[in-house]
Amino acid sequence: MQVDIRNLIVNGDKIAVALSGGSDSMALLNYMLSLSKKFEITVIALNVEHGIRGESSIRDTEFVKDYCSKHNVELLTYSVDSLKKADQEKLSVEQAARILRYECFFDAINSKKCTKVATAHHLDDNTESVLFNLFRGTGVKGATGIERNFNDKIIRPFLTVKKEDIQDYVIKNNIPYVTDDTNFCCDYTRNALRLKVIPEIKKLFPKMQDGLLRFAEILKDDDDFLEIESKKILNLSSDKAEITIPCHRALFSRATISALKSLGVKKDYEKVHVDDAYSLISKQNGSSINLPLGITAIREYDKIVFYKQSTDALPTIPFSIANFSFGESELEINKVTAPDLKSGFYLDLDKIPVDTVIRTRKDGDVFTKFGGGTKSLGDFLTDKKIPLKERDSLALLASKNEVLAIFGVAISDKVKVDDNTKNIVQLIKK
């Protein structure tokens, strides 16, 4: 059995083999143990009991414990409830089991019980994964198959080895194992693919596995390139993401998915959402679309900006000489006697109506700029090139629909300081 372990292990590694008790994982444990002295690594085992098959699953775990005890192999054990997670999060049992399994893997790594986890995925598994994703309408990343080395933490030494070669290795080395009955149950999608679909394809294309492996490797190179290039046009922060345009659709699509993920959309995005965001490139400045989980995408000049809309309504505060918080801003309204009118924002206190409040914008708001001329607030903010994503959080001084001041932006002509002004206040936004 030819196994390529280059770039997977280094001297001093403590590798936990994910051991279910099945023939593949038992073969991997045996193989890794055979390498331990040559490569100066420590090999242990890790078993996850998924809570799916009742007594049968517990029996497999007991088999693993017994084997490791007899062969003096350190064993890490975990028990999870895949059925409960599947029900609570509306996942398939397979999805829930996989998520919980990998949580256990990373717990072992993060708690320094091991440096890496090795799984027994093989070439047949990779074939299933590529076909499964293709049939579901995957993008490039999904068609690259299973990663042989994930972040130098999850390694898969057998990924280029055929199942039949692993079986020969098990027989030759007289390795004991248990059989998972669900492997032969077509109720599970991947098993149906393995037992019914792939055998028929092999009749027509005997070397289909080798062909799909080459296909996945080529796409992996393309995928890595797109990932690097997409980062060049993407600017991420904690509350927004910006994609610079113009750019190729392939790069835009990749950057859009990264933007959505950074803002909390992990699995609810679809191709239609990427298409909708891309359509903004051909639309006028200020055009926007709504995306999952309260994300909005807006065309802002030479960028498409993604941001998460706040669900917290900002208060309406009666006007007064005071300091207070307004959303993420700190506002000050101070009475002054000798202002420098060339810097800062000042207004005539006696021109402020008694019903004036501090609030965010509303439909119908208008603003009178210096020198006269009243515009809708939206048009004025566009003239000032205030991004759409920031407009709903602007602190305004307003009387009914008349905006008298925009903190940090402008003062209305209607409350400006003139030669007759006796009482002056300064507006400060921090």
Residue 13 phi/psi, 5-degree rounding, is: -60, 145
What percentage of residues in the chain have a pLDDT greater than 70?
Answer: 96
Assign 110 a pLDDT band (cuts: 50, 70, 90).
very high
List of residues 6+ apart from 207 with CB closer than 8 A: none
In this structure, the strands spanning 303-308 and 234-236 are unpaired
Phi-psi region of 294 (alpha: psi -120 to 50; beta: other; left: phi over 0): left
Mean pLDDT of 17-27: 95
Q: DSSP secondary-structure letter at 166?
A: H
Q: For 283-308, b where at least 16 C-beta lie within 10 A, e where not — what string?
A: eeeebbbebeeebbbbbbeebbbbbb
Mean pLDDT of 4-32: 93
pLDDT of residue 187: 53
pLDDT tens, position by position, 331-347: 999 999 888 888 889 99
Q: Is 372 exposed, middle or buried (0-12, 13-18, 19+ CB in 10 A)?
A: exposed
pLDDT tens, position by position, 135-154: 888 888 888 999 999 989 99
Mean pLDDT of 12-37: 95
- In 3D space, the residue among 143, 154, 134, 308 whose CA is nearest the CA of residue 226 turns out to be 143
Q: What is the CA radius of gyration of the chain?
A: 31
pLDDT tens, position by position, 71-101: 999 999 999 998 999 888 888 888 888 999 9
CB 387 within 8 A of CB 300: yes
Q: DSSP secondary-structure letter at 338?
A: S
Q: Which of 137-146, 209-218, 312-321 holds the top average pLDDT?
A: 209-218
